[in-house]
Homo-oligomer: A and B are copies of this chain.
Amino acid sequence: MSWQLARRAERLNPSTIREILKITERPGIVSLAGGLPSADTFPVEAMRVATERVLREQPREALQYAASEGLGPLREWVAAELGSQGLQCEAGQVLITTGSQQGLDLVGKVLIDPGSTVAVESPTYLGALQAFAPYEPEFHALEGDGEGPRPEAVLAARGARFVYLLPNFQNPSGRCVSAERRHALVDAAAAAGLPIVEDNPYGDLWFDAPPPAPLSARAGVGEGGGAIYLGSFSKVLAPGLRLGYVVAPKAIYPKLLQAKQAADLHTPGFNQRVVFEVIKDGFLREHVPTIRARYKRQRDAMSAALDRHMPAGTTWQVPVGGMFFWLQLPVHIDATALLPRAVEAGMAFVPGSTFFPHGGHANTLRLSFVTASPEQIETAVAALGRVLAAA
């Protein structure tokens, strides 16, 4: 039997990161390659209490088919929470998704035609490139600096279907966009008639002060609004629940909802009810600060280790939140070629090239500081330093 693949299937590719993570699961390797949160932060006891309660008090509702929009009280919680962060929206604009990755897929499905343009940061979140790619866009890479994409670059993307932005502690670069730059980016997008798709999986993981208000607060998600906002419970509770959300203007919401229904009918109601049970009385106000404190200690450990062990010519910014350091190596060094030597030396990272919409930038790499202990971080960064010095 000969199966004929759809043209879009050519845009689906094996994840390079998956392959790297397989390599780095070898015993004896300290992997700084993962994109995972620390399992030490998972609120197991709260989950236990919540699942027990959901199965005792609302088992039929939790285990039955449910509305494609998501659980009403959870949608209300999201709207209230975002309101407190400066993003005004109604529960009716919140669509619960199977992780925020699904939000990216639905956005792609509803907004991208083959050959249309999507403007993305450079580097940007790999999962978004993977979600958008099968809808066959042309990616327009936005030039940027340490503060984020340049407003002029956004202006120059006029005609794109949307501009995809991650203002908070971006994966992979760790960069946080300043309030001034946010204003300028939103104003540039509005001037160019460009909708914004804002992705915020890491915003709660700040170390010293909360990040500025979301881009969507200024661009608006209401009537005539210019933004879609994506959020997630993966980094503040646990990713294994696959629970995220999309907030969209009323002009777009019904189509996202219909695409959601076609994609998986609804996000597991059991998971939605358990998470709502965990968070409804303010659990995250106690819990998230413990994650911040932990990740900040690890960030500090990595910062100190980098200062100690990186040879001259390697540069980085110290991230003020999130999970990642982003390293610029001397231009003659290819991080992909370096990886096998690093693994031999007992550590692993992700080469940065994979995060760029058109590749290149071989002299960059990403390090996660959240799944290794401060001692392991010291060991791994020291090993990286030796490998770099030899290169």
Q: A interface vs B, CB < 8 Å? A: 1-9, 12-15, 18, 35-37, 39, 42, 44, 47-48, 51-52, 55-56, 59-66, 68, 97-99, 101-102, 105, 109-113, 116, 127, 130-131, 133-135, 161, 190, 193, 195, 219-220, 224-226, 234, 238-242, 249, 251-252, 254-255, 258-259, 261-271
Contacts and interface: CB of A to CB of B under 8 A. Distances in A.
Given A1-B226, A102-B264, A130-B262, A240 B39 contact: no
Contacts of A39: 60, 63-64
A9 to B, nearest CB: 5
A6 B110 contact: yes
Given A60-B39, A242-B268, A268-B271, A1 B190 contact: yes
Contacts of A65: 35-36, 234, 239-240
Contact of A224 (B1, B36, B161, B242): B1
Given A268-B240, A271-B270, A261 B1 contact: no
Given A1-B195, A193-B2, A64 B48 contact: no
A255 B2 contact: no
B36 A64 contact: yes
Nearest to A13: B258
A66 B34 CA distance: 12
A47 B63 contact: yes
Nearest to A270: B240
A105 B262 CA distance: 7
Nearest to A65: B239
Listed from nearest, the 9 A-B pairs whose CB atoms lie closest are: A63-B238, A1-B226, A12-B258, A39-B60, A63-B240, A240-B269, A44-B59, A242-B268, A98-B264
Contacts of A98: 98, 242, 264, 267-268
Contacts of A259: 9, 12, 134
A244 to B, nearest CB: 9
A111 B3 contact: yes
A375 to B, nearest CB: 20
Nearest to A259: B12
A134 B239 CA distance: 28
A372 to B, nearest CB: 15
15 contacts: A4-B111, A9-B111, A18-B261, A36-B64, A44-B55, A47-B59, A48-B52, A62-B240, A65-B234, A65-B239, A98-B98, A101-B264, A102-B263, A241-B270, A268-B268
Interface centre among A5, A13, A37, A225 (most CB of B within 10 A): A5
Given A66-B240, A240-B268, A249-B3, A254 B42 contact: no
